[in-house]
Amino acid sequence: MKITAQMVKELRQATGAGVLDAKKALEQTNGDYEAAVDILREKGAARAAKRADRAAKEGLIEMYAHPGNRVGVILELNCETDFVARNDQFKTLAHDIALHIAAASPRYLNTEDVPQEHLNRELDVLRNQALAQGKPEAIVEKIISGRMNKFYEEFCLLEQPFIKDEGVKIKDLILDAIRMTGENIMIRRFARYELGEALD
């Protein structure tokens, strides 16, 4: 299939990839747009992994208050340079993540942050539920694994589906921003407050 300039342009607009990368991806997939997007996303994830060790000490503190001021969020989003931190796309990313935190109320940043006692308690509950439902021992572990993925999606920010597009996880938003900016970008920390919530 002939790869046209219009095809390359559309792919670039959707992914932020360079001209040559977009053209190569379309050539590799014989013009299959969706497959080309997948190739470029994988390439972006590989580049992001290479950048993960780079220091990200610039960025911004985003504060978001839900209408009615009953829920508030403070988020620290870091990047490598103040040039990127002042960029409108970076500011929008910070705002979107803070908005997401207000709506989805994650408790932890990533799966590694979940305390072991919380994990153990959840695993015990899931195992007992599966056994109580009469599931055979042989498939109980598979059931637990699937349900733990749901647990992580509920409690861990990076694993949560983005509230504005549930086909994209928060970690995918970060990877896309890394690919677009060429810098390491990371959520350093966040806090969510809800009026009247119990303090524990």
* Full DSSP string of 48-106: HHHHTTS---EEEEEEEE-TTSSEEEEEEEEES-HHHHTSHHHHHHHHHHHHHHHHH--
Say what the pLDDT of residue 51 is.
Answer: 52
**What integer is the mean pLDDT of 193-198?**
84
Say what the pLDDT of residue 59 is.
Answer: 92
Say what the pLDDT of residue 174 is.
Answer: 92
pLDDT digits (tens, 9 = 90+) for 37-82: 777 766 665 455 555 556 677 999 999 998 888 999 999 999 998 8
DSSP state of 193: E
**pLDDT over threshold 70, residue 139:** yes
* Of 28-32, 47-51, 120-124, 146-150, minimum mean pLDDT range: 47-51
> Across all residues in the chain, what is the average pLDDT?
84
Give the pTM: 0.68
Question: Within 13 A of 127's CA, how many CA atoms are on the CB side?
Answer: 9
DSSP state of 153: H
For tokens 């690919």, the residue is 179
DSSP lists the bridge partners of residue 64 as: 73
**pLDDT over threshold 80, residue 165:** yes
Q: CA distances (Å), 59 to each of 39, 110, 134, in order?
A: 29, 20, 51
pLDDT digits (tens, 9 = 90+) for 14-31: 666 666 777 788 888 888
* All domains in the chain, ordered by first residue: 5-51 (1.10.8.10), 58-109+156-194 (3.30.479.20), 115-154 (1.10.286)
- Positive/negative CA dihedral, 154, 158, 161, 162: positive
Which phi and psi angles does 129 have, rounded to 5°?
Answer: -65, -45
Residue 134 identity (one-letter amino acid): G
Say what the pLDDT of residue 17 is.
Answer: 65
